[in-house]
Amino acid sequence: MPNAIDFYFDFGSPYGYFASTVIDDLAARHGRGVDWHPVLLDTVFKTTGATPLPLIPLKGAYSVRDVERTARFHKIAFRKPDNFPVPTQNAARAMLWAQSAKGDEMSVRLARAIFQAAFVDNRNISDTAVLAELASGLGLDGAALLDGVQSAAIKEQLRAETDLAMAKGVFGSPFVIVDGEPFWGFDRLDQVEALLRDGRV
Amino acid sequence: MPNAIDFYFDFGSPYGYFASTVIDDLAARHGRGVDWHPVLLDTVFKTTGATPLPLIPLKGAYSVRDVERTARFHKIAFRKPDNFPVPTQNAARAMLWAQSAKGDEMSVRLARAIFQAAFVDNRNISDTAVLAELASGLGLDGAALLDGVQSAAIKEQLRAETDLAMAKGVFGSPFVIVDGEPFWGFDRLDQVEALLRDGRV
């Protein structure tokens, strides 16, 4: 079986959410799995000196419009969260905790539930009680999640995962790496698919 | 006849060049004309505080790869210029001069020739002698162009055109406005087409 493709995202990124709704099917059409990697864009932006899109003059107002329009264009359920942007450390740690406790598949189910909570159901995903509730809904131990997201091991793992992503060239969300080839942005998934299909783009 | 759509670009922007190769046909498929507007991203970025893509850590190296890959993906002739980025005041002024001297159609022909020179033929489009040669190739008066790009009137016009573009929300290249709806990026032309076709997106 060929290598899985790597999918990097921040739970606060609307374009990361959009990619999360299609990436597994896209990869599966070409016999590939997907490794999901939550990262912290705040940390990445501190390193690259980039400014979060919503805070840039002109671009910020445009980005709100572009997100809503892009969701409609691709027929993806979306509701702009009342709290945006939100800190995403807890959400990312919750996913890493689920992965270590229950494996990749369950961690991806939790990631989907978190994205849906944030960008469809207008829940505050920085709130650990919300994360525990989402986990419980999947049959996970919500109390164990609350401990997990506060553990030194999970905190250190998220730092290391974000550093590793940057070392591989990741600077935004979503970011996809296929056999060493990097793609930034939901709007590059057409090129990701071309590479998977044709072996080149 | 419905309103023309507005197409803003900087002559140094590869994605602006990509858009220039398809925008007229795209609009014509839906009974629209295109008004071409050269602007200076340097001036825009000074206002918005944005950093030119090639100068951002990680993003800069990626952007070179993305430009070349995107050209291949869309089958657009492209060769990375040896001098990149280049100042584009002279190119933008040359286009405005051609417009005032010979009208919109000739100015768009000159714009296409400038883009081709920059991004296919590896010419230095900051060099007024190159611009005069391109103009002469279209039957324009190259010596008059040399005077034109130095005239106070054309310089002032470019400043005003760039200010006007920013007032309309333009912050990057390419930028397209259709009946008041703004679109940033070559990768949003699919949404531009949806709006032209369906009246909404």
Q: Is B193 left (phi over 0), alpha (psi -120 to 50) or beta?
A: alpha
How many CB atoms lie under 10 A from the CB of residue B54?
13
- Select from A59, A72, A170 the Cβ nearest to the Cβ of B201: A72
Helix (H, G, I), strand (E, B) or coil at A35: strand
Domain count, chain B: 1
For chain B, how many residues are written? 201
Give the C-alpha distances (Å, rounded to integers) separating B66 from A176, B74, B116, B174. 13, 12, 19, 15
- Give yes or no for a contact between B7 and B37, defined as CB atoms under 8 angstroms apart: yes
| Residue A106: CATH number of its domain | 3.40.30.10
Q: Identify all chain B residues contacting A49, using CB atoms and an 8 Å cutoff.
A: 51, 56-57
Longest dimension (CA), chain A: 47
Q: Which two tokens stand for residue A198?
A: 């044709």
Banded model confidence at residue B67, pLDDT cuts 50, 70, 90: very high
How many CB atoms lie under 10 A from the CB of residue A125?
27
Please state the rounded mean pLDDT for residues B162-172: 95
| pLDDT at residue number B55 | 79
CA distance A96 to A101: 9
pLDDT tens digits, chain A, 201 residues: what are they?
689 999 999 999 999 999 999 999 999 999 999 999 999 999 998 888 887 777 777 888 899 999 999 999 999 999 999 988 899 999 999 999 999 999 999 999 999 999 999 999 999 999 999 999 999 999 999 999 999 999 999 999 999 999 999 999 999 999 999 999 999 999 999 999 999 999 999
Q: Does residue B56 carry a pLDDT above 90?
A: no
Smallest CA–CA distance, residue B25 to chain A, in Å, is 21
* Cβ pair B49:A56 closer than 8 A: yes
CA distance B197 to A175: 31
* Cβ pair A59:B49 closer than 8 A: no
Which helix (H) or strand (E) segment holds residue B6: the answer is: strand B5-9
Residues of A with CB under 8 A from a CB of B: 47-51, 56-59, 61-62, 65-66, 69-70, 72-73, 166, 169-172, 182, 184-185, 187-188, 190-191, 194, 201
* Cβ pair A59:B48 closer than 8 A: yes
- Whole-complex ipTM: 0.92
* Domain boundaries, position B167: 5-198
DSSP state of A183: E
Q: Which residue has the higher pLDDT, A36 or B54?
A: A36
* Cβ pair A69:B184 closer than 8 A: no
Q: Identify all chain B residues contacting A43, using CB atoms and an 8 Å cutoff.
A: none
pLDDT tens-digit map of B136-153: 999 999 999 999 999 999
Q: Identify all chain A residues contacting B170, using CB atoms and an 8 Å cutoff.
A: 58
| pLDDT at residue number B120 | 98
Question: Taking Cα atoms as reference points, which of A149, A141, A147, A170 lies closest to residue A43?
Answer: A170
Smallest CA–CA distance, residue B125 to chain A, in Å, is 28
* Cβ pair A59:B171 closer than 8 A: yes
Please state the rounded mean pLDDT for residues B155-163: 97
Contacts of B88 (CB under 8 A, 6+ apart): B10, B11, B12, B38, B40, B41, B42, B125, B126
- Give yes or no for a contact between A76 and A114, defined as CB atoms under 8 angstroms apart: no
